Amino acid sequence: MRADCSFRTRANARMSLTERSANPFVHRLNLTFAQKLQVALMSFTIAPLRLFLASVFLLFTWLWASILTCNLRIPRDRPVGRFQTPAAQSLRWLLRAVLFCMGFHWITVKGKRASAAEAPILVAAPHSTVLFDSIAAVASGPLPSCVSRIENASMPVIATLMKTLQPIYVSRQDRVSRKGAVDEIIRRARTRGKWPQMVVFPEGTNTNRKALISFKPGAFNAGVPVQPIALSYPNPIDTLSWTMDGPGALTLLWLTLCQFQTKSVVHYLPVFTPNEAEKNVPRLYANNVRNVVAEVLNLPCTEYAFEDCLLMRHAVRLKLPMEAGLVEFAKLSKKLRLDLDNIHDRLSEFAIIAQEHSTGLVNIDDFAKFLHMPVTPALREMFSLYDRDGCGQIDFRDYVIGLSLVSQPAVTDDTVQLAFKVFDKNHDGMVSKENFSRVLRATFGSEFNSDKIFHQMQKRAGEGVTYDEFYRFARHRPEYAKVFLSYQALSTDVQ
């Protein structure tokens, strides 16, 4: 949430990005003294025994899965019938035994699971971790198939278990892989129950379960009925949420083993049958299903998405605060028509502007330095499009939105041609370095050095800048187009 500007002024301190945003990818554990004492005692008593028993049952599960898949080539185009036999479905009870040994003594099941013919896809949320959220698969009915990240196909033990589910593997960073996974979901979902049900976690990544992030449309593209599953873990402390920033998987596993018991609730909601509008717009379908789950769990919905996680990781690599990449990707991509690659590149640019600040915030002086321009009234006017709350500093999200606001009116064929004419004094379709410098010095003052801007536009050494080069530069850096146009009236008299 954006903080009030006057408050920040009175406090004489800029509120951090973490404080301004309810980050669903951050999980903090603050154990009381009693809880720490419990963990210490159970670490030498119950937890090791639980881990041993869970490992034994997991070994039996793996051995049984290995027997079921021995010398069996798993086809991708048709279901393997033997995986639907009672013998194969006994894997569900073995997996349930593993969870029982880990402290999941009781799984409260609400509602009734629909058949594959009624709802080919089960959509479960919120998603906290693959290991514990497997409860959605073992709580009731036959084991469903699933959509899984490609890395699981090479993990010991897990890979063998996954084979019996005939999963759809996907590389989340690969656009072709993601599209292939969506196409396969559609194909299987439209077979009217011939394939086993699929369980999908439409958020696409783990969260702290304090809110529901954007649902990916992949599970909804088929336009078939789905059954939402609301997952909850009503425990005194949350030892289950494995997020990007928080306790690691092994730490959470051990803390879970050190609890007296871990409660879980799997709530099968009524089958959601899409109307025509939802069938035609999968994102609408996904949002409406999310709203149903959120209402049952009494959770808010946010427009954060898996892509925000990727941008947060990129921000860390750029030595920015992790939260700098938290931009509500689902909302920005829809409103500004930007894809992940666009925003990824803009974050790299923003890191250059903010390189002198550890806060991930920049002011107009930083902005002017990046553009190699002095602070002038026109630059201040443009900066105000970024600094919409008037606090004098912007974060990365402000920067992305501001670029769009600057670009929309400033970078059209007509406006770029108008700006080009300001500098093309010889009317030969070429902007010389001398003319470019004369116009800007007349506008900004005789000490203004325009060489860096000119060299950014110029692709061929020793020659001027063509209209195509000028146009490409204006598209990439719309701030210049707007500033050039702002000073057109002043500069047209310069000879």
- The answer to whether residues 332 and 184 belong to one domain is no
At residue 211 the predicted structure's pLDDT band, cuts being 50, 70 and 90, is: very high
- The answer to whether residues 405 and 435 belong to one domain is no
Residue 166's domain comprises: 33-297
Task: Give the pLDDT confidence score for residue 446 in this predicted structure.
Answer: 57
pLDDT tens string 444-490: 665 566 777 777 777 766 678 888 888 787 777 777 766 666 555 44
Of 352, 300, 302, 353, nearest to 332 (Cα)?
A: 302
9 lies in a domain? no
CB atoms closer than 10 angstroms to residue 429: 11
Of 96, 100, 54, 72, nearest to 164 (Cα)?
A: 72
Q: Is 65 helix (H, G, I), strand (E, B) or coil?
A: helix
CATH number assigned to the domain comprising residue 367: 1.10.238.10
Q: Which of 14-28, 73-87, 257-271, 279-293 has the lowest mean pLDDT?
A: 14-28
- The answer to whether residues 81 and 178 belong to one domain is yes
DSSP string, 418-433: HHHHHH-TT-SSEE-H
E strand or H helix at 485: helix 478-486
Give CA angle at 234 (227, 197), nearest 5°. Answer: 20
- The answer to whether residues 394 and 429 belong to one domain is no
Which amino acid type is present at position 476?
Answer: H
- Please give the span between the terminal C-alpha atoms of the chain, in angstroms, as a whole number: 50
107 lies in a domain? yes
- The total number of structural domains in the chain stands at 3
pLDDT average, residue stretch 77-94: 78
Average pLDDT over the chain reads 83
Is 430 exposed, middle or buried, given 0-12, 13-18 or 19+ CB atoms closer than 10 A? Answer: middle
- The answer to whether residues 254 and 328 belong to one domain is no
Q: What are phi and psi of 286, to 5 degrees?
A: -60, -45
477 lies in a domain? yes
pLDDT average, residue stretch 238-258: 93
Is 225 exposed, middle or buried, given 0-12, 13-18 or 19+ CB atoms closer than 10 A? Answer: middle
Task: Give the pLDDT confidence score for residue 258 in this predicted structure.
Answer: 96
pLDDT tens string 317-361: 988 988 888 888 888 888 877 888 888 888 988 888 888 777 889
Dist CA 219 CA 299 (whole Å):
21
- The answer to whether residues 389 and 457 belong to one domain is no
- The answer to whether residues 432 and 448 belong to one domain is yes
- The answer to whether residues 271 and 232 belong to one domain is yes
Dist CA 128 CA 210 (whole Å):
10
482 lies in a domain? yes
Model confidence at 154: pLDDT above 70:
yes
More confident residue, 124 or 428: 124
